[in-house]
Amino acid sequence: MLQILRSTLVALLLTGTLAQAVLPPPPTLKSAFAKHFLIGAALNQAQFSGKDPRGASIVIAQFNTISPENILKWESVHPELNRYDWEGPDQYVAFGVKNKMFIIGHTLVWHNQTPKWVFEDAKGAPLGREALLARLRDHIHAVVGRYKGKINGWDVVNEALNEDGTMRETQWLKIIGEDYLAQAFQFAHEADPKAELYYNDYSLENEAKRNGAIALIKRLQAKKVPIRAVGLQGHNKMAWPSVEQQDLTITEFAKLGIKVNITELDVDVLPPASDYRGADITVNYELQVKLNPYAQGLPDAMQRDLARRYAELFRVYVKHAAVIDRITFWCVTDGDSWLNDWPIRGRTSYPLLFDRLGQPKRAFTVVLSTATTKF
Ligand code: GLA
From the CB of 44, is ligand 1 less than 6 Å away? no
Annotated catalytic residue 75: no
The reply to whether omega before 24 is within 30° of 0 (cis) is no
Q: What is the dihedral of CA 91, 100, 322, 306, to 10 degrees?
A: -60
Quote the CA–CA distance of 74 and 140 in Å, as a whole number.
10
Q: Is the CB of 279 under 6 A from ligand 1?
A: yes
Q: Distance from the CA of 163 to the center of ligand 1, in angstroms?
A: 16
Q: Which H helix or E strand runs over 272?
A: none
Q: Is the CB of 75 under 6 A from ligand 1?
A: no
Q: Which residues of 62-101 are buried (b: 16+ CB within 10 A; e: fewer)?
A: bbbbbbbbbbbbbebbbeeeeeeeeebbebbbebbeeeeb
Told to judge if 159 belongs to the known catalytic residues of this protein, a careful annotator would answer yes
Atom of ligand 1 nearest to the CA of 70: 9
User: Does the C-beta of 264 come closer than 6 Å to ligand 1?
Assistant: yes
Using the mean position of ligand 1's atoms as its centre, give its distance from the Cα of residue 12 in Å: 46
CA R_g for the chain: 22
Per-residue pLDDT of the chain (375 residues; tens, 9 = 90+): 445 545 554 454 445 555 555 665 458 999 999 999 999 999 999 999 999 999 999 999 999 999 999 999 999 999 999 999 999 999 999 999 999 999 999 999 999 999 999 999 999 999 999 999 999 999 999 999 999 999 999 999 999 999 999 999 999 999 999 999 999 999 999 999 999 999 999 999 999 999 999 999 999 999 999 999 999 999 999 999 999 999 999 999 999 999 999 999 999 999 988 766 677 887 777 777 889 999 999 999 999 999 999 999 999 999 999 999 999 999 999 999 999 999 999 999 999 999 999 999 999 999 999 999 888
Evaluate: CB of 364 within 6 angstroms of ligand 1: no
Which residue of the set 69, 205, 252, 264 is catalytic? 264
Cα of 359 to ligand 1 centre, how many Å? 24
Distance (Å) from CA 106 to ligand 1 centroid: 9
Whole-structure pTM value: 0.91
Q: Which of 69, 159, 196, 205 is catalytic?
A: 159
Residues 150 and 129 sit within 8 Å (Cβ to Cβ): no
Q: What is the C-alpha to C-alpha distance for residues 66 and 354, in angstroms, rounded to an integer?
A: 16
* 372 CA to centre of ligand 1 in angstroms: 31
Contact 33, 51 (CB under 8 A): no
**Residue 340 Cβ < 6 Å to ligand 1:** no
